[in-house]
């Protein structure tokens, strides 16, 4: 029996799934790796720890589910978070940690570029919104502010490129991850000269751009032995988490959109053309030559309800966040839709789409003397989802969205899914106990293996059995409140700016984080 | 209860309790000067605020205490208030004599019913966490009240009861200290803290008990939470960090493989080599050779 293994290099760790050829999950395992914030705007991960964790989890999964049942591994397919940058020296060894998508160190560079003519040109050419997340501005930051590392860097990789290079020795990057770097022209599928010039590099310092179906080389002998895999095991480059979540929900086709809400969130569509936007609110990433995944990301998803839970939730058992969240949802369900007029702007982490304002901040609005704790809970959840709706609404200006699917741990909570259906006034499909990114990677692998003729055909086989139907009356309530929500999110731009600069001005800086002793020790 | 002070060596009530150096209640009706000057003692001092607001200095740092708060002063730490001022209010306190072991650990004497491992864990908790303010800690007030009543009541079994209350006091203080530093809500943050401490001393032979105590959890709950959060058992997660650090060091030519093994917490270079090869398929020396070569 053959099987397909998918490896997802995510923000908080790695998830490995094993599928049989018809797409049923045989087994899955995960492994956590930390994100380091050594300075306020920095967000880094240790490439060696990511590699070891990946290897460790893969080995455990093979030993538990695959080898004992004599499955033959037909293919190992990768997916990864977007926008990471790792500089490596001429021997391929990392120069410091990888910089993740959440890193904001290049905010000054991003701010300047976004409002320049070059910025507009680069956005149209590359499809990546100009934002500190984008590798092109991160590399420019390094050129300006970390000159030694920039000089020594032989290549600028993504985390996925590094992990695959460890396993096979080849330097590759797939279309979708490359198109999330802000350096790739998504129309010509070549590194964009203006972007390279802005970053101060030539294309030789980037990995080769290849289609998502490309085989990433042969597993090195040592790993064949330690993992007990044959030399012919195919390593498939795969795609990004965003593109694969969209594919995994079967969103390929007219009128479909998918909503992902984990810690953060996004609304995405897939199609043969890009979304053009004067205000540069959407991303357009390339999955294949004729297929773009477009949409808008939000910083504020399930992590905001977790914040609420940590501050105001009940914890009957220590560290039992799940139980606390469940209680909050139960309490929220006892409050009328619209929270009796309490509104919440969820911008605790600033915001990307649709307002693209890093200085945006959160707010409860409309408080009156009758509001209770439970109203705050419901308003918090509604605020998170109004923001999702707000992204969907701007997308709707360019694409006629008829049906929606929802995935991600927060979005698939039935209470939230129903709320999404009511806010959008559209049917919403989900499948519980389902992992869209990994399933997308399975579909990609199965298509490469010829099980499906095309990604279109693969996407059409996706069935999401649970449907949440919208309720017109509920929609009317949400629509009324949303009009105020939307106005507030725009009107407060000046006050967001003012309060965030005061927050910086009066910030009490944390004690410096102690550096790890190992490594600097001399004997 | 009215104010009183009992002192070891002066008060007959404490004859049966050599571990209690001092115990009392103080009520201050008007501001007093030179009534609370800074002192350093060998005992562990625990003050519980009943009324008022007090500004006290512990180890030259000023802290403010409100009713329900506890001031915890470790042996040998200077404690008092500026100019010895005592503000209006009332508080109750106890000073306990603890044994100091050769390794610097502190522990209660023979009167205690705590087991050896519990004693060690509580002693470590008191020393590791510098936490002079334990806020909203009414349990301490209740226990001290109970001790006072037993001391003056002399009912049957009062000696055992007081020793028992003292154990309870130490247990509650130790638990409060770890809970106050780890709010029992944010596991990611707690885990990050643990990760930092582990990385700072990777060479140490960490046990699960030590790791759990560091974040104020029982070992069973700790192991379960770490497993569900990280996908690994605590020890396997530690091996993960060890190998990742070792990889970084192997990529630098100047440190010997044996030194890397010991620095990253393996018993020997043999143990390092076996573990490394099992996971990566390479012996450390081979891995090093591959990565130092120009490509």
Full domain range(s) for residue B258? 184-295
Q: What is the DSSP string of A418-487?
A: HHHHHHHTS-EEE-SS--HHHHHHHHHHHHHTTSSSSHHHHHHT----EEEPP-HHHHHHHHHHHHHHHH
Chain B residue with Cα closest to A59: B279
Residues B214 and B154 both lie in one domain: no
Instruction: Name the token pair of B180.
Output: 């106050």
SS (H, E, C) chain B: CCCEEEECCCCHHHCCCCCEEEEEEEEECCCECCCCCCECCCCEEEEEEEEECEEEEECCEEEEECCCCEEEECCCCCEECHHHCECCEEEEEEEECCEECCCCCEECCCCCCCCHHHHHHHHHHHHHCCCCEECCCHHHHHHHHHHHHHHHHCCCCHHHHHHHHHHHHHHHHHHHHHHHHCCCCCHHHHHHHHHHHHHHCCCCCCCHHHHHHHCCCCHHHHHHHHHHHHCCCHHHHHHHHHHHHHHHHHCCCCCCHHHHHHHCCCCCHHHHHHHHHHHHCCCHHHHHHHHHCCC
Q: How far apart are CA A278 and CA A128, in angstroms?
A: 13
Q: What are phi and psi of A489, to 5 degrees?
A: -65, -25
Domains A2-243 and A250-420+471-504 belong to one CATH topology? yes
pLDDT (tens digit per residue) in A199-248: 999 999 999 999 999 999 999 999 999 999 999 999 999 999 999 999 99
pLDDT (tens digit per residue) in A418-436: 999 999 999 999 987 678 9
pLDDT of residue A352: 95
pLDDT of residue B216: 77
Superfamily of domain A250-420+471-504: ATPase, nucleotide binding domain (3.30.420.40)
Residues B12 and B31 both lie in one domain: yes
Whether residues A319 and B184 touch (CB distance < 8 A) is answered with yes
Q: Pairing state of beta strands A172-174 and A208-210?
A: parallel
pLDDT of residue A523: 36
Q: How far apart are CA B70 and CA B79, in angstroms?
A: 14
Using the predicted structure, report yes or no on whether residue B139 has a pLDDT greater than 80. Answer: yes
Helix (H) or strand (E) holding A159: helix A159-168
Looking at CATH, the fold of the domain delimited by A2-243 is given as Nucleotidyltransferase; domain 5 (3.30.420)
pLDDT (tens digit per residue) in B178-225: 777 666 778 898 899 889 889 988 998 888 888 887 787 888 989 999
Q: C-alpha B186: how far from its chain's center?
A: 20
pLDDT of residue B128: 67
Q: Is there a contact between B72 and B43 (Cβ–Cβ < 8 Å)?
A: no
Residues B137 and B199 both lie in one domain: no
The residue count for chain A: 523
Using the predicted structure, report yes or no on whether residue B260 has a pLDDT greater than 90. Answer: yes
Q: How far apart are CA A491 and CA B122, in angstroms?
A: 55
Residues B39 and B159 both lie in one domain: yes
Whether residues B231 and A32 touch (CB distance < 8 A) is answered with yes
Q: How far apart are CA B78 and CA A1, in angstroms?
A: 73
Mean pLDDT (whole number) for A244-261: 92
Lowest mean pLDDT among A191-205, A356-370, A440-454, B105-119: B105-119
Residues B131 and B250 both lie in one domain: no
Q: C-alpha A210: how far from its chain's center?
A: 21
Residues B10 and B88 both lie in one domain: yes
Instruction: Name the token pair of A368.
Output: 């009156």
CATH number, domain with residue B74? 2.60.120.10
Instruction: Name the token pair of B220.
Output: 């069973």
The owner of tokens 């007029």 is A341
The residue count for chain B: 295
Residue B103 pLDDT grade (very low, low, confident, very high; cuts 50, 70, 90) = low
Alpha-carbon separation of residue A223 from A32, A229, A406, B249 (angstroms) = 21, 8, 37, 20
Residue A522 pLDDT grade (very low, low, confident, very high; cuts 50, 70, 90) = very low
pLDDT of residue A487: 97
Instruction: Name the token pair of A86.
Output: 């790792």
Using the predicted structure, report yes or no on whether residue A340 has a pLDDT greater than 70. Answer: yes
Lowest mean pLDDT among A178-182, A367-371, B196-200: B196-200
Residue A370 pLDDT grade (very low, low, confident, very high; cuts 50, 70, 90) = very high
Domain boundaries, chain A: 2-243, 250-420+471-504
Using the predicted structure, report yes or no on whether residue B262 has a pLDDT greater than 70. Answer: yes
pLDDT (tens digit per residue) in A273-288: 999 999 999 999 999 9
pLDDT (tens digit per residue) in A447-473: 999 999 999 999 999 988 889 999 999
Beta bridge partners of A17: A6, A28
Q: What is the residue-averaged pLDDT of chain A? A: 94
**Percentage of chain A lying above the pLDDT 90 cut:** 90
A62 secondary structure, DSSP code: I
Domain-ending residue, one of B181, B202, B233: B181
Chain B residues with CB-CB distance to A56 below 8 A = 232, 236, 240, 279
Using the predicted structure, report yes or no on whether residue A351 has a pLDDT greater than 90. Answer: yes
Residues B122 and B159 both lie in one domain: yes
Residues B176 and B195 both lie in one domain: no
Helix axes B158-181, B138-153, angle to 10 degrees: 170
Characterise B205 by phi-psi region: left (phi > 0), alpha (psi -120 to 50), beta (else).
Answer: beta
Q: Is there a contact between A179 and A209 (Cβ–Cβ < 8 Å)?
A: no
CB pairs under 8 A between A and B: 116
Residues B170 and B193 both lie in one domain: no
Q: How far apart are CA A170 and CA A157, in angstroms?
A: 12
Q: Does A321 touch chain B (CB under 8 A)?
A: yes
Mean pLDDT (whole number) for B165-182: 85
pLDDT of residue B127: 77
Tally the domains of chain B: 2
Q: How far apart are CA A16 and CA A4, in angstroms?
A: 11
pLDDT of residue B182: 63
Q: How far apart are CA A133 and CA A50, in angstroms?
A: 20
Q: How many CA atoms lie within 13 A of A180 on its CB side?
A: 28
Q: How far apart are CA A397 and CA A76, in angstroms?
A: 39
A351 secondary structure, DSSP code: B
The owner of tokens 């990604």 is A455
Neighbouring CB atoms inside 10 A of B160's CB total: 12
Q: Which of B185, B281, B295 sits opposite A223 (nearest CB)?
A: B281
Chain A residue with Cα closest to B259: A523
Residues B171 and B203 both lie in one domain: no
Chain A residues with CB-CB distance to B251 below 8 A = 91, 93
Residue A315 pLDDT grade (very low, low, confident, very high; cuts 50, 70, 90) = confident
Q: How far apart are CA A421 and CA A406, in angstroms?
A: 10
Q: Is there a contact between A390 and A489 (Cβ–Cβ < 8 Å)?
A: yes
Chain B residues with CB-CB distance to A86 below 8 A = none
Residues B278 and B146 both lie in one domain: no
Residues B129 and B27 both lie in one domain: yes
Q: Which of B216, B209, B282 is nearest to B243 (CA)?
A: B282
Helix (H) or strand (E) holding A406: strand A403-407
Q: Which of A366, A372, A471 is nearest to A419 (CA)?
A: A471
Q: Which of B264, B282, B293 sits opposite A518 (nearest CB)?
A: B264
Q: Which of A46, A309, A517 sits opposite B200 (nearest CB)?
A: A517
CATH number, domain with residue B231? 1.10.10.60
pLDDT (tens digit per residue) in A26-67: 999 999 999 998 888 899 999 999 999 999 999 999 999 999
Q: Does A207 touch chain B (CB under 8 A)?
A: no
Q: Which of residues 182-241 of B touch A (CB under 8 A)?
A: 183-187, 190-192, 195-196, 199-203, 217, 221, 225, 229-232, 236-237, 240-241
Whether residues A519 and B245 touch (CB distance < 8 A) is answered with yes
Judged by DSSP in three states, A344 sits in strand
Q: Which residue has the higher pLDDT, A522 or B10?
A: B10
Judged by DSSP in three states, A512 sits in coil
Characterise B204 by phi-psi region: left (phi > 0), alpha (psi -120 to 50), beta (else).
Answer: beta
Best B241, B252, B272, B278 member to test A by mutation, with max A CBs in 10 Å, is B241
Q: What are phi and psi of B99, to 5 degrees?
A: -80, 140
pLDDT (tens digit per residue) in A493-519: 999 999 999 998 998 654 444 444 443
Whether residues B281 and A310 touch (CB distance < 8 A) is answered with no
User: Residue B120 contacts by C-beta under 8 Å, 6 or more apart in sequence?
Assistant: B105, B107
């Amino acid at each position: 029996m053959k099987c397909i293994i998918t490896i997802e290099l995510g923000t908080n760790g790695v998830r490995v799934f094993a599928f049989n050829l018809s797409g049923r999950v045989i087994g899955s395992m995960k492994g956590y790796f930390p994100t380091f914030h050594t300075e306020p705007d920095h967000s880094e991960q240790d490439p060696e720890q990511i590699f070891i964790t990946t290897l460790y989890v893969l080995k455990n999964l093979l030993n538990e589910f695959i080898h004992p049942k004599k499955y033959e591994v037909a293919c190992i397919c990768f997916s990864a978070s977007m926008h990471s940058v790792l500089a490596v020296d001429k021997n391929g060894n990392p120069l410091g940690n990888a910089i993740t998508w959440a890193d904001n160190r290049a905010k000054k560079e991003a701010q300047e570029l976004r409002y320049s003519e070059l910025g507009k040109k680069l956005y149209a050419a590359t499809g990546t919104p100009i934002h500190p997340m984008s590798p092109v501005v991160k590399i420019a930051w390094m050129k300006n502010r970390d000159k030694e590392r920039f000089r020594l860097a032989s290549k600028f990789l993504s985390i996925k490129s590094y992990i695959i290079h460890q396993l096979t020795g080849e330097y590759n990057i797939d279309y979708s991850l490359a198109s999330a770097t802000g350096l790739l022209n998504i129309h010509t599928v070549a590194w964009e000269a203006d972007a390279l010039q802005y970053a101060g590099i030539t294309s030789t310092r980037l990995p080769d751009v290849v289609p998502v179906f490309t085989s990433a080389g042969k597993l090195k002998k040592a790993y064949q032995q330690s993992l007990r895999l044959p030399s012919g095991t195919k390593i498939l480059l795969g795609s990004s988490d965003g593109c694969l979540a969209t594919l995994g929900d079967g969103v390929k086709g007219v009128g479909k959109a998918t909503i992902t809400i984990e810690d953060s969130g996004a609304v995405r569509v897939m199609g043969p053309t890009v979304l053009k936007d004067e205000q540069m609110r959407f991303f357009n990433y390339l999955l294949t030559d004729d297929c773009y995944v477009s949409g808008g990301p939000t910083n504020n998803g399930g992590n905001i309800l977790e914040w609420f839970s940590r501050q105001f939730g009940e914890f009957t058992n220590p560290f039992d966040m799940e139980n606390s969240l469940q209680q909050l949802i139960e309490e929220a369900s006892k409050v009328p839709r619209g929270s009796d007029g309490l509104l919440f702007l969820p911008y605790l982490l600033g915001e990307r789409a649709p307002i693209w304002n890093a200085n945006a901040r959160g707010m409860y609005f409309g408080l009156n003397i009758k509001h209770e704790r439970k109203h705050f809970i419901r308003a918090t959840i509604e605020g998170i989802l109004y923001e999702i709706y707000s992204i969907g609404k701007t997308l709707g200006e360019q694409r006629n969205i008829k049906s929606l699917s929802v995935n991600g741990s927060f979005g698939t909570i039935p209470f939230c899914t129903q709320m999404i259906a009511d806010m959008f006034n559209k049917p919403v499909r989900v499948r519980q106990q389902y992992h869209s990114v990994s399933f997308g990677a399975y579909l990609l692998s199965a298509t490469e293996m010829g099980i499906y003729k095309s990604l279109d055909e693969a996407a059409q086989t996706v069935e999401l059995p649970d449907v949440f139907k919208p309720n017109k009356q509920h929609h009317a309530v949400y629509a009324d409140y949303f009009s105020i929500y939307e106005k507030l999110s725009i009107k407060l731009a000046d006050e967001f700016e003012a309060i965030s600069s005061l927050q910086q001005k009066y910030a009490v800086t944390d004690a410096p984080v102690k550096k790890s002793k190992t490594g600097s020790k001399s004997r | 209860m009215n104010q009183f002070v009992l002192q070891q060596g002066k008060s007959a009530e404490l004859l049966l309790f050599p571990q209690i150096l001092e115990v009392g209640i103080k009520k201050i009706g008007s501001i007093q000067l030179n009534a609370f000057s800074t002192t350093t003692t060998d005992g562990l001092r625990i003050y519980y605020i009943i009324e008022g607001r007090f500004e006290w200095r512990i180890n030259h740092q000023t802290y403010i205490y409100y009713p329900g708060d506890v001031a915890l002063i470790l042996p040998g730490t200077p404690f008092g208030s500026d100019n010895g001022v005592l503000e209006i209010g009332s508080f109750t306190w106890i000073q306990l004599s603890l044994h100091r072991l050769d390794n610097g650990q502190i522990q209660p004497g023979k009167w205690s019913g705590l087991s050896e491992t519990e004693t060690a864990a509580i002693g470590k908790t008191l020393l590791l966490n510098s936490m002079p303010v334990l806020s909203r800690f009414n349990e301490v007030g209740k226990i001290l009240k109970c001790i006072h009543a037993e001391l003056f009541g002399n009912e049957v079994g009062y000696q055992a009861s007081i020793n028992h209350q003292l154990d309870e006091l130490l247990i509650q203080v130790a638990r409060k200290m770890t809970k106050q530093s780890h709010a029992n809500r944010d596991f990611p943050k707690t885990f990050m803290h643990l990760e930092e401490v582990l990385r700072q001393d990777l060479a140490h032979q960490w046990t699960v008990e030590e790791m759990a105590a560091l974040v104020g959890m029982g070992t069973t709950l700790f192991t379960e939470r770490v497993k569900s959060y990280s996908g690994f058992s605590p020890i396997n997660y530690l091996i993960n960090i060890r190998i990742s650090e070792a990889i970084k060091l192997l990529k630098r030519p100047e440190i010997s493989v044996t030194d890397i093994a010991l620095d990253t917490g393996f018993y020997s270079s043999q143990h390092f080599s076996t573990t490394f090869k099992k996971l990566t398929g390479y012996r450390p020396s081979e891995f090093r050779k591959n990565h130092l070569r120009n490509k």
